[in-house]
Amino acid sequence: MSDPTDMQPDDMLAMDFALGALDRPARKSAEARLRSDPAFRARVEGWQALLAPLDAETETVLPPGSVWAGVLDEIEPQRLSSPGPTTQSETKGLWHNLAFWRGLGIAGPALAAVALVAVNPTAPPVVTAPSDDQLAAAAPAQLSTSLAGADGAPLLAATWDPLRGTVVLTPVAERDDPDRDVELWVIEGDKPPRSLGIIEIATPNAHAISSQVVSGLQPGSVLAISIEPIGGSPTGLPTGPVVATGKLSAV
Amino acid sequence: MSSAAELARLLAKASEGDTAAFRDFYDRTSAKLFGVILRILPERGEAEDVLQDVYVTIWRKAAEFDSSRASPITWTATIARNRAIDRLRAKGSRPTSPLEDAGLVEDCAPLADVQIDTARGAASVHAALAMLDPRQAAAIRSCYFEGLTYEELAAREGVPVGTLKSWVRRGIMRMRAAMGAAEGHGEHA
């Protein structure tokens, strides 16, 4: 009666993901689906809701105070820029520097510029704005940008479609590092970078990101891609090399 | 008393930048999430790292929380499980204890405030687990609580992966059937 073969493959995959039983490649692939496929996400959430009451039996364990201190270090902007007694001795570097992101966000009057940022671990970043030849429309139907790597080769085309409420990312080059995830960020005005999640750019398929994640993107918002540990940035801000950025412009 | 509504309210305030509300949310939920993470990542320092990451993530994603899709504690526990499993997968496999050791846990932890919301669901899910073959139930528990993959569990049990998969999936389908359609997600069979 409840033979698993009666299940739709998507439902089976959703169950496996919610259970936590998938190996790493299958899990990453399912995560990409979660971000781009609301129907699949709803299936996963259904299974999560079914299984979640199991957590009630898990013994609660009081974490040490250092955990909250670490959280606070990450979420309070003034602590990021102060050299106070933070336990986060790692160099936070450029990507925690709000002034840098602010500068990037307002660099140049032309909203349509595509900015390429090349970063290597030892040199300061080189920021260029190669093209100022378009002006943003006041009420754009779509916003798009191309995100290029340090060598100038385009990695991704990104289009924000406000009607469908999605960002569609179309990889134009194959790139695969199995030990790293690729995380997409948006920088709006002078706010800190906001994660749009892990993206899969190893395969040349378009991926959509849901409207809830990207609501309200404006021309001039900067999309950036950083290379992060598996699972995404552990801090909530970019930690790895930023391989590409692009400013959204009207099309 | 941390009702779902109260936790949702704290999350909403956190999404507006209210760190005091977020601290309150942390105080009410962190022992639960730490417990969830520790079952997947028993090494304490590593579990603490993940817990910190999880709360930074919750802070940044607080505005995305949608009470029509999940309860606050389910939403946050799911983030914690996913982060812990990601970390576990990134490390590769690890030694695991035999399935016989993973039998039904009799000593339920004392209910924390946040668990009251799910207490009724827990009774139901445990009743559903209890009616399964004990090894089938233990396999489901090993995947869910320890983050084991089908492949790891099949190797540990000495059964083909396909057999184990259908065993576990069949068990969960039976659990869903036993728990009725109350969860409200789609029936596909």
Read off the pLDDT of residues A33-45 as tens digits, 9 standing for 90 and up. 998 999 999 999 9
Tokens of B146: 């320890």
Distance from CA of A112 to the nearest CA of B (A): 28
Query: Which class would CATH give A92-250?
Result: mainly beta
Nearest CA in chain B to A61: B31
Distance from CA of B166 to the nearest CA of A (A): 6
Per-residue pLDDT band for A67 (boundaries 50, 70, 90) equals very high
Per-residue pLDDT band for A250 (boundaries 50, 70, 90) equals low
Query: Which class would CATH give B99-183?
Result: mainly alpha
With residue A186 as reference, give the H or E element that holds it: strand A180-187
Per-residue pLDDT band for A95 (boundaries 50, 70, 90) equals very low
Looking at every residue in chain B, the average pLDDT score rounds to: 82
Tokens of B185: 């997600």
CB A20 to CB B186 under 8 A? no
Nearest CA in chain B to A12: B169
Within this chain, domains B4-91 and B99-183 share the same CATH topology = no
Contact in structure between A232 and A198 (CB atoms under 8 Å): yes
Nearest to B128 by CA among A15, A47, A44, A50: A50
B117: amino acid identity, one letter? D
Supply the pLDDT for residue A117.
27
Q: Does A39 touch chain B (CB under 8 A)?
A: no
What percentage of chain A exceeds 70 in pLDDT? 46
Q: Where are the domains of chain B?
A: 4-91, 99-183
Supply the pLDDT for residue A120.
27
Supply the pLDDT for residue A1.
44
Contact in structure between B125 and B171 (CB atoms under 8 Å): no
Nearest CA in chain B to A213: B64
CB A60 to CB B112 under 8 A? yes
Distance between CA atoms of A41 and A99, rounded to whole angstroms?
A: 36
Binding-face residues of B in 34-93 toward A, CB within 8 A: 34-36, 38-39, 48-49, 51-53, 55-57, 59-60, 64, 66, 69-71, 73-74, 77-78, 81-83, 85-87, 89-90
Q: Where are the domains of chain A?
A: 4-57, 92-250
Q: Which CATH number fits domain B4-91: 1.10.357.10, 1.10.510.10, 1.10.1740.10, 3.40.50.1010?
A: 1.10.1740.10
Q: What is the pLDDT of residues A68-88, one digit of tens each?
A: 999 998 888 644 333 333 333
Q: What is the pLDDT of residues B109-144, one digit of tens each?
A: 333 444 444 555 667 888 888 889 888 999 999 999
pTM: 0.56
Residue B6 or residue A111, greater confidence: B6
> What mean pLDDT is predicted for residues A6-13?
87
Supply the pLDDT for residue A155.
62
Q: Does B149 touch chain A (CB under 8 A)?
A: yes
Distance between CA atoms of B86 and B81, rounded to whole angstroms?
A: 8
| B49 chain-A contacts, CB cut-off 8 A | 234
Binding-face residues of A in 95-154 toward B, CB within 8 A: none
Tokens of A152: 């100038």
ipTM score of complex: 0.81
Residue with tokens 């001039």: A220
Q: Which of B69, B149, B169 sits opposite A12 (nearest CB)?
A: B169
Q: What is the pLDDT of residues A164-182, one digit of tens each?
A: 555 666 665 544 556 677 7
Handedness of CA B9, A195, B90, B143 (dihedral sign): positive
Supply the pLDDT for residue A61.
94
> What pairing do the DSSP bridges indicate for beta strands A143-148 and A249-250?
antiparallel
Best of B49, B144, B146, B168 to disrupt the A interface (most A CBs within 10 Å) is: B144
Q: Which of B48, B145, B184 sits opposite A67 (nearest CB)?
A: B48
CB A67 to CB B81 under 8 A? no
Supply the pLDDT for residue B178.
84
Q: Which of A20, A61, A71 sits opposite B35 (nearest CB)?
A: A61
For residue B39, pLDDT over 90 is answered with yes
Contact in structure between B143 and B137 (CB atoms under 8 Å): no
Compute the radius of gyration of chain B from its Cα atoms. Answer: 18
> What mean pLDDT is predicted for residues A186-194?
79
